[in-house]
Amino acid sequence: MTKRLVDIDDEKLEAVRCLLGTQTLKATVAGALDEVLALDLRRQELLPEGRSPSAALADPDERDAAWG
């Protein structure tokens, strides 16, 4: 792990801390990074390989399948 010195918007940090239910800066940043990685994994699992979200939504059959 590497220590880094960064400027962080206090209002955004507080909003994310509330959303995640974390108490410390370290837990909030780690939780936010985990959430972004989980979002990317979900996106990859939902979209066929090599397809962008807009391309998948443009296909009426895929769009209908996504909405059931």
Per residue, the 3-state secondary structure of 14-41, as one string, reads HHHHHHHCCCCHHHHHHHHHHHHHHHHH
- The pLDDT value recorded for residue 56 is 65
- Residues 38-64 have a mean pLDDT of 77
Domains of the chain: total? 1
State which residues form the domain around 47: 10-67
Look at residue 66 in the predicted model and tell me its pLDDT: 73
Query: Considering the domain boundaries, does residue 1 fall inside one?
Result: no
Greater pLDDT, 54 or 20: 20
Alpha-carbon span 10 to 1, nearest angstrom:
23
Indicate whether 63 belongs to any domain: yes
For residue range 3-48, what is the model confidence (pLDDT) as tens digits? 999 999 999 999 999 999 999 999 999 999 999 999 988 888 877 6
Please answer whether residues 32 and 16 qualify as being in contact, where contact means their C-beta atoms are separated by less than 8 angstroms.
yes
Q: To the nearest 10°, the Cα dihedral for 26, 29, 34, 36?
A: 180
Decide if 5 is inside a domain: no
pTM of the shown model: 0.67
**2 assigned to some structural domain:** no
Q: Is residue 14 one of the residues assigned to a domain?
A: yes
Is residue 15 situated within a structural domain?
A: yes
Q: Which tops the pLDDT comparison, 63 or 32?
A: 32
Inside any domain, residue 4: no
Q: Are 22 and 13 in contact (CB under 8 A)?
A: no
